[in-house]
């Protein structure tokens, strides 16, 4: 694609990067075929090709409107279009630049700003989200059914062993996951302990930064990334084997730290090292001898691969292979490549589209009568569980005897 970005914008790191990415797009439109919002809304501007064109136009003309922002806001950042694109267009990186540009050039209304910033702060303030969730759970029994389903039930974490293994890996606890389902990280610690690996969290590590980044708060995202790198660095220097992610959304972000901080002279090298060491939990287990595990009884499972795992990290079929190897029955699921509508804060900010995508996803997941649905990201898990007829769990919990 020909571009004519203004020299001033081209001189910035974002401008030259946007230009490089735009030039790879040949406008073929193949990506529209797998875009969930294009499939649902049928509008060219709600598909990747249209959004790319909108961004090119706004960068070139230096103007954008609320109309431009609406179509960018409706994008799930699922990156299904990247998987489909034959030209290797890095749509995820382009829309990050586009969103930052829109946030600075097209002011949102006060209610919209308050809603987005309020959401970001509630989810990221230590203790606040957990306190509100506790409150919601306390009055859950008195809530109408539609609201009750949105408040996830409390799940026990059970114990974490204190391991003394010489093999050591770092765990990112995450921001909302420990409050919603503390059993996920606890199960990961126990499973790796049985495999002879000590999995521990570094003090001060917190949100991976994805939440702020996808809400256009780019500097807050960078601060989160630098804080995590500082927290992990002593363990990395001490020879830790990997940084393990139990939520694929976080994994996709941390694997991208090297790219996102490439222009930061103080952090570029460290960020690249962190990204190089980051592994989804499934990638770690795939390289281990699982014979020592005693998984629970065989279950009929429908697996939902989160977009952040299959399109963001390009990790495909690994969890399905592990569950099958351990005796579970994996049912075929149609449209497995499509987003469930969770997409970070998308399900809160775009509830109508997110609800339609969830209904469509659940109809495919439940089509062959599974006992339960397994997934690999807390956002998808919570979003699907709010309307599912069967339990929705993180796959790691199926590798333990009590599952």
Residues of this chain that interact with ligand SF4 (CB under 6 A) are: 25-31, 35-37, 48-49, 51-52, 75-81, 85, 87, 89, 91
Q: At residue 172, what are phi and psi to the nearest 5 degrees? A: -95, 115
Task: Please state the closest distance from residue 19 (CB atom) to ligand SF4, in A.
Answer: 15
Q: CB atoms < 10 A from the CB of 390, how many?
A: 18
Q: Which is nearer to ligand SF4, 51 or 299 (CB)?
A: 51
Nearer to ligand SF4, 94 or 123 (CB): 94
Copy the structure tokens of residue 228. 């995590």
DSSP helix, strand, coil percent of the chain (3-state; round to 5): 55, 10, 35
In the complex, minimum distance from the CB of residue 218 to ligand SF4, in angstroms, rounded to a whole number: 18
For the bound state, the minimum distance from the C-beta of residue 280 to ligand SF4, rounded and expressed in Å, comes to: 20
CB closer to ligand SF4 out of 26 and 158 = 26
Least spacing, CB of residue 364 vs ligand SF4, in Å:
17
Provide the 8-state DSSP code for 366: T
Q: Is the CB of residue 199 less than 8 Å from the CB of residue 171?
A: yes
Comparing CB distances to ligand SF4, the nearer of 40 and 403 is 40
Q: Nearest distance from residue 98's CB to ligand SF4, in Å? A: 11
Take residue 222 and report the two structure tokens written for it. Answer: 């960078």
Give me the least distance between CB of 226 and ligand SF4, in Å please: 26
Q: Which is nearer to ligand SF4, 80 or 275 (CB)?
A: 80
Residue 28 or 298 having the CB closest to ligand SF4: 28
- Tokens at residue 155, please? 């799940």
């Amino acid at each position: 694609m020909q571009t004519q970005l203004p020299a001033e914008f081209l001189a910035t790191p974002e401008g030259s990067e946007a230009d490089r990415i735009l030039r790879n797009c040949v406008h073929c439109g193949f990506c529209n075929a797998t875009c969930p919002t294009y499939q649902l809304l049928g509008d060219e501007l709600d598909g990747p090709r249209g959004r790319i064109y909108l961004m090119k136009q706004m960068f070139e003309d230096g103007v954008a409107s609320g109309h431009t922002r609406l179509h960018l806001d409706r994008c799930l950042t699922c990156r299904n279009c990247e998987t489909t694109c034959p030209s290797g267009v890095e749509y995820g990186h382009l829309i990050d630049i586009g969103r930052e540009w829109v946030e600075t050039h097209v002011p949102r209304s006060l209610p919209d700003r308050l809603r987005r910033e309020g959401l970001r702060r509630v989810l990221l303030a230590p203790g606040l989200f957990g306190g509100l969730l506790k409150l919601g759970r306390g009055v859950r029994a008195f809530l109408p059914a539609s609201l009750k389903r949105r408040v996830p039930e409390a799940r026990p974490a059970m114990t974490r062993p204190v391991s003394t293994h010489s093999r050591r890996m770092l765990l990112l606890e995450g921001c909302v996951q420990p409050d919603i389902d503390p059993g996920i990280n606890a199960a990961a610690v126990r499973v790796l302990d049985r495999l002879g690996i000590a999995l521990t969290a570094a003090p001060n590590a917190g949100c991976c930064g994805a939440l702020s980044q996808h809400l256009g708060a780019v500097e807050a995202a960078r601060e989160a990334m630098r804080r995590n790198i500082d927290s992990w660095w002593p363990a990395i220097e001490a020879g830790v084997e990997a940084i393990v992610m139990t939520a694929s959304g976080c994994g996709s972000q941390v694997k991208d730290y090297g790219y996102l901080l490439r222009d930061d002279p103080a952090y570029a090298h460290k960020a690249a090292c962190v990204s190089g060491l980051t592994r989804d939990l499934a990638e770690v287990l795939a390289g281990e001898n699982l014979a020592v595990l005693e998984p629970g009884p065989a279950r009929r499972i429908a697996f939902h691969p989160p977009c952040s795992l299959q399109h963001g990290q390009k990790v495909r079929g690994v969890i399905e292979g592990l569950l099958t190897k351990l005796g579970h029955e994996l049912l075929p699921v149609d449209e497995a490549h499509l987003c469930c509508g969770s997409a970070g804060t998308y399900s809160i900010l775009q509830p109508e589209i997110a609800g339609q995508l969830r209904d469509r996803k659940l109809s495919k997941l439940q089509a062959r009568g599974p006992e339960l649905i397994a997934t690999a990201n807390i956002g998808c898990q919570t979003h699907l569980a709010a309307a599912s007829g069967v339990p929705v769990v993180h796959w790691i919990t199926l590798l333990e005897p009590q599952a």
